[in-house]
Amino acid sequence: MGARFIGWGIAVPDRVVTNDELSLTLDTSDEWIVERTGIHERRIGGTAMSLGVIAGRNALEDAGVEAKDIDFLVFATTTPDRITPATAPMVANELGLKCAAMDVNAACSGFMYAVRTAYGLLETGNKRVLVIGSENLSRWVDWSDRNMAVLLADGAGATVLEYDPTENDLLSFSLGADGADADLLTCEHGGYFQMDGAAVFRRAVRVVVDSAEKALAMAGITADDLSLVIPHQANIRIIQAACQRLNIEMDRAVVVLDHYGNTSSASIPLAFDDARKNDRVHKGDYALLTGFGAGMTWASAVVRWSQ
C-alpha cells in the first residue's frame, strides 16, 4: 500500500511580534531569547479555524484537487476554537468538504499523529485525506509570563495525502505517548500554558532520538541516508542536541522557528513549506519528520519524496 503527499499549504497571521516588542512589557531581552531558543520573531493572530481554512485551501489548490475529492479531514490542534464542537467540522464546512472530519490533539506531535491517522484511513479504503495542523496558541498564553510568552505563536500547515497502489512516500512511523509526564506541560480549562521547560527539554531530546532511530531502522536506512530532517520547531538547542546524537549535521535540518516561534502542530508543515520554497525537497530523497510535545507524545516518520 502507498500514500503520497500530493499538495501542501500554510497560513500565518500578518502580525509580526519581535523579541524587542516583547521586551517592552516583559523582563526579557532579544539576546536571551535568541541565545536560549533561537527565536527572533513570531506571528500572532487568527484562530485555529481561520488559519486552518486558509492552509487547507492552499493545500487543495497545490494538490490540484477539489473539496469533493477529499474523503476525510484530520485536523490536528492543541487549541480548538471551542471545547465542543471540534474545529474540524467547521473547517470542513468552510472548505466545502462533504466528508468525515475530526480533531486530533497530540500537542506538538499533532501533525505527525494526524499523518499517521491519515495513512491508516488510506489503508482502509479512503482515497484522499486532508491533514491540517493549526494553532492559536497565543490565546492561551499569559502575556505577563516570560517563560511561555517568548516561545509560543500562531500558524497552520496542511497536506493532502493520496492513496497510491504503486508509489509510497511514508516508509515508517514510530509514535509514542507517556502520560506519566503529563504535568510537565499543561493548560487547564480557563487557564494558560505552563511548562517545566528544562524537564521538557531533556525528555524531548531523548524521545526524538529514540523514535527517529526506530523509524530509520524500520525504513531500512541510516541517518547518513537522510537529505533532510524536518523537526518540530520548539527550540534550536533541542534540534541541535537531537541532530548531534543522531550524527546529523545541522545543515540537513530545516529551521523556521527563528521567524515563526513554536507553532505546535503547525510547525512541521511550516518547516516543510520553507524547505520546498528553498528547493531542498527532491524526488527520491529521504527525510525524517519528527515531533514531540505535551502528553508527553512523540512521533517520527521516514519519508521518501515521490515527487
Footprint of ligand UT7 on this chain (CB under 6 A)?
28, 32, 36-37, 108, 146-147, 150, 185, 197-198, 200-201, 204, 234-235, 238, 262, 293
Q: Which is nearer to ligand UT7, 90 or 266 (CB)?
A: 266
Nearest to 256 by CA among 28, 39, 30: 39
Instruction: Select 150 or 246, whichever has its Cβ closest to ligand UT7.
Output: 150
Report the nearest approach of ligand UT7 to the CB of residue 298 (Å).
10
State how far the alpha carbon of 75 is from the alpha carbons of 66, 181, 215, 247, in Å: 18, 24, 23, 33
Question: What is the residue whose three cell numbers read 489503508?
Answer: 123
CB neighbourhood size of 198 (10 A): 9
Residue nearest to ligand UT7 (CB): 197
On the CB side of 243, CA atoms within 13 Å amount to: 23
Q: Which is nearer to ligand UT7, 24 or 198 (CB)?
A: 198
CB of 195 to ligand UT7, least distance (A): 6
- Let me know if 259 is a catalytic residue: no
19, 105, 235, 262: the catalytic one is: 262
Which of the following is catalytic: 58, 108, 126, 235? Answer: 108
Q: Toward ligand UT7, which CB reaches closer, 122 or 242?
A: 242
The length of the chain in residues reads: 307
- How would you label 155-164 residue by residue, b for 16+ Cβ within 10 Å and e otherwise? bbbbbbbbbb
Strands 16-18, 41-43: pairing kind:
antiparallel
Among residues 58, 232, 235, 243, which one is catalytic?
232
Instruction: Verify whether residue 136 is a known catalytic residue.
Output: no
CB-based contacts of 250: which residues, under 8 Å, 6+ apart? 239, 240, 243
User: Minimum distance between the CB of residue 180 and ligand UT7, rounded to whole angstroms?
Assistant: 17
Q: Identity (one letter) of the amino acid at 285?
A: D
DSSP bridge pairs for 173: 301
Min dist CB 244 to ligand UT7, Å, is: 16
Residue 52 vs 293, nearer CB to ligand UT7: 293
Grid coordinates given for 116: 499517521
Bridge-based pairing state of the strands 170-177 and 41-43: unpaired
Instruction: Give dist(CA 181, CA 206) in Å, integer.
Output: 13
**Contact predicate 125/169, CB 8 Å:** no
* Least Å from the CB of residue 226 to ligand UT7: 22
Largest CA distance in the chain: 56
CB of residue 293 to ligand UT7, shortest distance in Å? 5
Assess whether 99 carries a catalytic annotation: no
Nearer to ligand UT7 by C-beta: 234 or 287? 234
**Residue whose C-alpha cell is 487543495:** 60
| Amino acid at position 279, single letter | D
> Which positions are catalytic?
108, 232, 262
